Chains A and B, each alone.
Chain A
Amino acid sequence: MTQTQLEDVKPGDTLPPLVKSASRAQLFLFSAATHNPHRIHYDREQAQREGHADVLVHGPLQGAWLHQFVQGFAGPRGRVLSLAFRNRGPAFPERELTFRGRITAVEGDVVTLEVWEEDDTGAVLMPGTARVRLPRRSA
């Protein structure tokens, strides 16, 4: 895996996007891994009874993807110090979900990021902020 170095980044830089699309089977596995039996993640009729067009991608799965996106930017020797996100809109399986971000500040070896998840219509589903500590180029 490539390692992002502190010297290589500056405010305004954009992060390489991460694209995800959950199958229904993945939603089932995530429900199982998190002991979450809520039917809106596997039963379309129940999801519709609760006002949704289809079963929903779990908010915490989207949160896990945001973590993956930020750790992927930070690289193996980068450390994620904080990550905050708000769940703003529903995400559905078998649809492309894209994670994007840009650098808003660099102070010392700590980089602040604005990050967000958008769906295939461009709607922002999960906006957030993160701070990561990046290694300096080896002296």
Chain B
Amino acid sequence: MSLIPAETLARVGERLGEPVSATLQAHEAERFAYAAGDTNPIYLDDAAARAAGYRARVVPPAFLVWAFEPPRPLDALREDGLWRDAGPPLRLAVSRILYAGEEWEYRAPVHAGDTLTAETRLAALEEKTGGSGPFVLITTETTYTNPAGEVVALVRGKRIAR
């Protein structure tokens, strides 16, 4: 039996949720850089960033995803600590979803203070068989667009559902 119901498979290509706009906060980007142990001055110091050819400090690239995390109340937590609405909203015959990797494209620098719009689509659903049985490889694609309409970054997120 397929792990992917036909009506879920039919959603490949669809947008998942509404586009979300956010202004990137310098202190949140710094908190992310420090938590990751990344003290590259292009993320922390405007003068160093200008010397490197940027107009001001840039945000750590992997921070982008987290700048768009919605605030959620405690009753949105599951017993295991995951948010009930974490992960793509897809109906699949699976019990667990695991982080499987990311594919990033960076097209223009992103600075603290920039306002971007994130839009996520369901890019692919592939049923596969691995060492521990059948699974679904879920690929979402999120674009980050600036107010001029240019895509400044794009990430394909991979998850394994089994």
Interface string of B28-50 (1 = CB under 8 A from A): 10011011111011100000100
Contact yes or no, A34 B32, CB < 8 A: yes
A20: interface (CB < 8 Å):
yes
Chain B residues with CB under 8 Å of A77's CB are 52-53
Which DSSP category, helix, strand, loop or mixed, fits chain B's interface?
mixed
Complex-state Cα separation, A34 to B99, whole angstroms = 15
Contact yes or no, B101 A30, CB < 8 A: no
Q: Which of A12-71 contact B (CB under 8 A)?
A: 20, 26, 29-30, 32-35, 37-40, 43, 46, 50, 59-61, 63-65, 67-68, 71
Contact yes or no, A64 B38, CB < 8 A: yes
Complex-state Cα separation, A136 to B80, whole angstroms = 50
Minimum CB distance partner of A66 in chain B: B62
Complex-state Cα separation, A29 to B31, whole angstroms = 9
Chain B residues with CB under 8 Å of A71's CB are 40, 42, 61
B94: interface (CB < 8 Å):
no
A102: interface (CB < 8 Å):
no
Interface segment, one of B6-14, B103-111, B115-123, B144-152: B103-111
Q: Using a CB–CB distance below 8 Å, which chain B residues touch chain A?
A: 28, 31-32, 34-38, 40-42, 48, 51-53, 60-62, 65-66, 69, 71-72, 77, 80-83, 98-106, 156, 158
A–B pairs, 21, beta carbons within 8 Å? A29-B35, A33-B31, A34-B32, A35-B69, A35-B72, A39-B80, A40-B81, A43-B81, A60-B102, A64-B32, A67-B38, A67-B60, A71-B42, A76-B53, A82-B104, A83-B61, A83-B103, A84-B156, A86-B100, A86-B101, A87-B101
